[in-house]
Amino acid sequence: MSSIASLTITQIPAEAEALRAEVRAFLTEATAKIPAHIRAKSWSGFDPEFSKALGAKGWLGMTFPKEYGGGGRTAFERYVLVEEFLNFGAPVGSHWIAERQSGPLLLKYGTDEQKRTILPKIAQGELYCCIGMSEPNSGSDLASVKTRAEKNDQGWLLNGQKIWTTNAHHCHYMIALVRTSGTTEDRQKGLSQVLVDLSLPGITVRPIEDLAGDSHFCEVFFDNVQLSADALVGNEGQGWEQVNAELAFERSGPERIFSSVVLFDQWLAYIRTPAGKRPESTRLAGQILTRMAPLRAMSIAIQEKLARHESPIVEAALVKDQGTVLEQYIPAAIADDLLSRDEADVPFELMQTLTYVTHIAPCYTLRGGTRSILRGMIARGLGLR
């Protein structure tokens, strides 16, 4: 109970809120010509030029130390930026994973050479990373990792396969969870993280088309890939602890609340019009907001813990699980509302946005950990397992 009870109401500091107006002005112009059904893709939307533009403004790697090309600013300032990126549906998918979790992971566990090589390019929006955690036939059971890196005279020899690796076909590096000793029966023991240059010989990346027609998920195959000795991230055998700390960055952010927010905003704009206004729609809007507000407060409270260099693993799992429930409820509830109307009265772009979000919503419970895994972690945090 202690870990859950540790979340306290936290406000975003005024100096961080002061950024919001400038960011909104930039995004209003930058996203003005992007249709809503495209903006709904947001953090899966791949646009390197947009990422470079953010890097030029100093809006990537804001929390990285200045000596590694970052801004040396606070986690709350970054939080404000990310909230606005998602609310506008900005195409941030190119740099998203690198800036959100690969960079912070390297800051905490990487060598000085890894930091100096990788972090400045992430902050410039010119280097992208993917996550190598999931494997075939394992679901979300990370402890069953079979991909193996064996030590040799040149460093580490990598063999195996990763799957559901977002944007691997566009990325420069993968931070992979691999087995460096023991067998799968050893579960969490014998696991390490390695930094993999995806241009190395022996690597094959194969995109997977999803239900919505996009191909941002990938399979990645490693066939005798020779990594250098300094590819190891952190300490050998401590991959389990490291990857759980990394997942706190992935599970706690506003993207676990706002994946359907572009659709919600489009629908709100419609039900404010004379043609769209109905009492039951107004009640639904209130229901959604009353569920969103406490989740946002919890997400902000976790940011404070991350800013204090704590690792709120259980709290992040709670926000991710309940955030996903809300993200999937929004398209389902809006579909009920819109499909009960005369089709001719509903704007075509709104229906296109609803169609896309409805197609992609089932994957919300897969990315970042399945519902059963997260609820198991929460139960463990409550002392029930």
Which residues are marked as active site? 250
Could you give the C-alpha distances from 249 to 306, 354, 369, in angstroms and in order?
Answer: 8, 28, 13
The CA distance from 265 to 91, in Å, is 17
- Give the residue from 324, 301, 371 showing the smallest Cα distance to 5: 301
Q: What's CA 56's distance to the chain center, in Å?
A: 22
Residue closest to 165 by CA, chosen among 178, 156, 176, 180: 176
Pull the structure tokens for residue 324: 């996903």
Tokens 């990792």 belong to 145
State how far the Cα of 338 lies from the Cα of 276, in Å rounded to an integer. 9
CB contact burial 191-228 (16+ within 10 A = b; e otherwise)? bbbbbbebeeeebebebeeeebebebbbbbbbeebebe
DSSP for residue 43: G
Residues 205, 206, 210, CA angle at the centre, nearest 5°?
A: 135
Please state whether 194 falls in left (phi above 0), alpha (psi between -120 and 50) or beta.
Answer: beta
User: For 274, what's the count of Cα atoms within 13 Å in the CB-facing half-sphere?
Assistant: 0
CA 368-374-377 angle, to 5 degrees, is: 130
Single out the residue of 243, 318, 325 nearest to residue 1, CA to CA.
Answer: 318
CA distance 158 to 148: 6
Question: Which helix (H) or strand (E) covers residue 177, if one does?
Answer: strand 173-179
